[in-house]
Amino acid sequence: MNTDIKSVTVVGTGIIGASWTCLFLAHGLDVVATDIREGAENELELAVERCWPSLPDAVLERKKRGTLSFTADLTAACRGTGFVQENAIERVEEKIDLMRQIDAATSPGVVIASSSSAISVTDMQSACAHPERVVLGHPLNPPHLVPLVEVVGGAGTGETALRSAEHFYQDLGKTTIRLEKEIYGHVANRLQAAIFREAIHILESGVASAEDIDRAVTDGPGLRWALMGPLLTYRLAGGDRGMQGFWDMFTPMQDKLWRELGTPLLDQDLQQRVTAAVERAYDKVPLEGLVRKRDAGLRCILAMRRPERHL
């Protein structure tokens, strides 16, 4: 680990915050967690114990575990910390005020990273006295398993903070990508949203069931995506001529597909219909069982990818 960082403050201990906490502890970092929700401390302790066995083998082999403490006092939680990972409310005005409080309570030079899925860093740092150290450190759920962290700064963020955040996450075994500019939803969520939108369009059109739409991904392109992204996938599809070969062979098909992709209206009626279809498909297995199955599968994929991260 970066020897300059010995402790981390986790602000917000829901699903994402608890998963981050598990990962930080497993790398020997001391964690001070804070949340204002009643019962949050007990929920966090249970969540960490639940996540711990599913950590990647490479992490468990370290046989490390930092100390975990909890306080509802945000100022106390930030005092003396080496890094802040914020995972709280996803409403702009509340986030701005929360980041202002964290900034005021944290020693100068300490990076303040947000897990926000969509809120602009420029907005989040707008009330901070030290906006230069506020960055986005957006993980994919669950962060204790999925390697990706998206890093980007706002208008007031300094390069030093961005590099420090990247090094910190990389020392945790994470894969970081640097966004050159802010965009709503960042990169991974936008890619997921595009697939999700078309999945709903196909479901609404009566083309396939919820289960078969999911299987079309997990037993099809999802297998390739565990090894390579969509751009490399299509480059290989072009054979010896690479990407240009793909365009020469498939441009008409892609053009027709792009023009026919669905644009469903995300209104209340559609949400209810999709909810009913998905719950019918998966209500036979309790949520906890689905999570365990997901985490076990992710561990297997990570173990397989360990010698060589990607193609």
How confident is the model over 41-64, as pLDDT tens digits? 999 999 999 999 999 988 999 899
* Range list for CATH 1.10.1040.10 in the chain: 188-305
The kind and range of the H/E element at 224 are: helix 221-225
List CB contacts of 195: < 8 A, sequence separation 6 or more.
Answer: 217
How confident is the model over 193-217, as pLDDT tens digits? 999 999 999 999 999 999 999 999 9
Q: What is the pLDDT of residue 307?
A: 56
Rounded Cα distance, 225 and 236, in Å: 13
Q: What is the pLDDT of residue 2?
A: 45
How confident is the model over 83-134, as pLDDT tens digits? 999 999 899 999 999 999 999 999 999 999 999 999 999 999 999 999 999 9
Q: Which CATH class is domain 188-305?
A: mainly alpha
Domain made up of 7-178: CATH architecture: 3-Layer(aba) Sandwich (3.40)
Rounded Cα distance, 21 and 31, in Å: 7
Rounded Cα distance, 151 and 25, in Å: 22
Q: What is the pLDDT of residue 303?
A: 86
How confident is the model over 16-25, as pLDDT tens digits? 999 999 999 9
Query: How is the beta sheet containing 7-11 ordered, strand by strand?
Result: 68-70, 30-34, 7-11, 83-86, 111-114, 134-139, 148-153, 175-178
* Range list for CATH 3.40.50.720 in the chain: 7-178
User: Model-level pTM?
Assistant: 0.93
Quick check: bond before 108 cis, omega within 30? no
Q: Tell the burial category of 32 from Cβ atoms under 10 Å away from its Cβ (0-12, 13-18, 19+).
A: buried
The stretch 272-299 carries a mean pLDDT of: 92
C-alpha torsion sign, points 81, 86, 89, 90: positive
Rounded Cα distance, 263 and 265, in Å: 7
- State the average pLDDT for the chain: 95
Rounded Cα distance, 9 and 70, in Å: 10
Q: What is the pLDDT of residue 308?
A: 57
Rounded Cα distance, 86 and 115, in Å: 6
C-alpha torsion sign, points 298, 24, 175, 94: positive
| Residue that is written with structure tokens 């700064």 in the block | 153
The stretch 257-266 carries a mean pLDDT of: 96
Q: Tell the burial category of 189 from Cβ atoms under 10 Å away from its Cβ (0-12, 13-18, 19+).
A: middle
Cα-to-chain-centroid distance, residue 127: 25
Pair of tokens at residue 71 = 């306080």
Q: What is the pLDDT of residue 274?
A: 97
Q: What is the pLDDT of residue 161?
A: 97
Decide if pLDDT at 296 tops 70: yes
